[in-house]
Amino acid sequence: MVRNTEADTIIIRLSGEIGIKSEWTRRSYERQLIKNMKVALKSQNLKPTAIVRVRGRIYVHMSIQTATETAKALTRVFGISSVSPAKQTTSELSDIYATAFEMVETALPQNATFAVRCHRVGTHPYSSQDVCRNVGEQILEHFKSRNPKVNLTNPKVTVTVEIRDKEAYIYAEQIPAQGGFPLGTQAKTVCLLSGGIDSPVACWLTMKRGSPTVPIYIDNTPYTDDRTRQKAVDTAKKLQAWSTGKISKIYIVPNGENIQAIQEKAPSRFTCLLCKRLMYRIAERIADDEKALGIVTGEAIGEQASQTMHNLFAIDEAATRYPIHRPLLGFDKLETEAIAKKIGTFEISIMKAKGCTAAPSMPATQARLSAVKEAEANLDMAAMVESALQKTQILEL
């Protein structure tokens, strides 16, 4: 790991998908990315001295004391594929040698294998191959007491020299970031956030594709408890940390009275399906207010009884004005849990809380839409939606 006292620049590599966009689209994505980077750094009290955009790269210059923290913060910004703490110097070979020694000093252990790579833009009195060969020879000589060995196929340490016209950047590590699109380059969505494992991951994946996502928690108290609600709020706060300022609130929608009405007036096997249809209608109204263009859920095929293909078909019909987006549709649980652990929501989601006691013991798994709509005809769904929205709270995160 390169010491932060040696790096004065963070090299930002853009997600590969950005590079294949049209010139106008690519520039607009890069501008949005830089805005998001500034927000992410400001939230961590990190102040770059300059952010420079060139084709295919963004260079963040900062105080040498904050390189490690800056690199870590930027790996959480969507639209970045990887970052490298680097040291800037001139394109003169003598300066490149000296800087490479500084960067390698703490990165090259005893008996390690290494390779030198060079990426060069501009006209220089040497080739990229010259740089690799000469820097490699200098490292072998300068650090011969450590007995380094050249390995171009699978080196333990890779020293990279990136030359752009009169400037050069040297680094010895490449830290993976999230990829995707800069948040804000796609339209807004709303997300039904339960606080369980699945829905925060669905929300995060939607954000990764550039879509700001407003969380909605449907509060089924007294069929759930305060701990369930708190989990949803806490997962929303975790998502906020990835949002570069674009998640600031969560809608808390009371739904207990509606569930009671469903239990009293509809067959118990349809309780969850009718509740889901009601949730979609509520989410559509909030999407209107938020000027969103879709509803995100954490549903996956067969994950629960209400998520069989038959039942998803039966509940989808309730959403008449916005599409239902299901990023996890084909995921298995282990795949979802892996992402939840990475983004910091897993430990919250597995905390003990009261599961929804309104769920029937024998739910319908292959419901016919006609039967569900027949049961729903006994309910005044429009009035139930209005009642829930009138009592909705908007909680600032």
| Domain at 355, CATH number | 3.40.50.620
- Total Cβ atoms within 10 A of residue 293: 15
With respect to residue 184, please indicate whether it lies within any of the assigned structural domains.
Answer: no
CATH number at residue 85: 3.30.2130.30
Q: Evaluate whether 308 touches 187 at the Cβ level (below 8 Å).
A: no
Any domain includes 2: no
Note whether 155 and 240 are same-domain residues.
no
The helix/strand/coil state of 394 is: strand
| Six-digit token string for 218 | 């449907």
- At which of 176, 203, 219 does a domain end? 176
pLDDT tens for 304-336 read: 888 999 999 999 999 999 999 999 999 999 999
The mean pLDDT of 289-304, rounded to a whole number, is: 95
- Tell whether 168 and 23 lie within a shared domain: yes
pLDDT, mean over the chain: 93
What confidence category does residue 283 fall into, taking pLDDT thresholds of 50, 70 and 90?
A: very high
* Residue 283 to residues 252, 313, 320, 389, Cα–Cα distance (Å): 11, 18, 11, 10
182 falls within a domain = no
Which of 154, 176, 198 marks a domain boundary? 176
Question: What is the total count of domains within the chain?
Answer: 2
Q: Are residues 157 and 111 in the same domain?
A: yes
Is residue 252 assigned to a domain? yes
Tell me how far apart the alpha carbons of residues 281 and 319 are, in angstroms, rounded to a whole number: 6
φ/ψ (deg, to 5) at 50:
-165, 150
Q: How far apart are CA 160 and CA 303, in angstroms?
A: 46
307: domain range?
189-396
Residue 183, domain member (yes or no): no
228 and 374 inside one domain: yes
Could you say which of 176, 205, 222 is where a domain stops? 176
Average pLDDT over residues 121-134: 94
- Tell me the torsion sign for CA atoms 134, 135, 140, 144: positive
Looking at the fold, whether 213 and 98 belong to one and the same domain comes out as no
Same domain (yes/no): 152, 212: no
Model confidence at 381, in pLDDT bands (50, 70, 90)? Answer: very high
Percent of the chain at pLDDT exceeding 90: 86
Say yes or no: 242 and 332 in one domain: yes
- Does the pLDDT value for residue 186 go beyond 50? yes
